[in-house]
Amino acid sequence: MSTKDIPLKQVNKNIWEIPQDYRPYMRVPARIIANEYLIKDIHKDQTLIQAANVTSLPGIKKFSVTLPDP
């Protein structure tokens, strides 16, 4: 699976969101906190897939949050 196919909606300058309807198992949207430079680079690894997977955990509320590693 290519992460280029994962839909990202920009919520504001540094918040991006994978909509809840991206996968049927998603209970909430996935939010990624990153600037445009990091978002361009984020497609090289599994970050977006992992962010979507976290949203399926029992008890999750509102949205998941993914932050960059320093």
- Which domain range does residue 62 map to? 3-66
pLDDT of residue 2: 72
Sheet with 15-18, side-by-side order of all strands: 9-12, 15-18, 30-33, 64-66
CA dist 60 to 3, 13, 18, 26, Å? 23, 25, 15, 10
pLDDT tens column, 21-68: 999 999 999 999 999 899 888 888 899 999 999 999 999 999 999 998
When divided into structural domains, the chain yields a total of: 1
pLDDT of residue 9: 96
Rounded to two decimals, what is the model's pTM? 0.90
pLDDT of residue 8: 95
Instruction: For residues 54 and 49, give the distance between their C-alpha atoms in angstroms, rounded to a whole number.
Output: 9
Which residues does 22 contact at the CB level (< 8 Å), separation at least 6?
6, 7, 52
With a cut of 70, say whether residue 70 has pLDDT above it. no
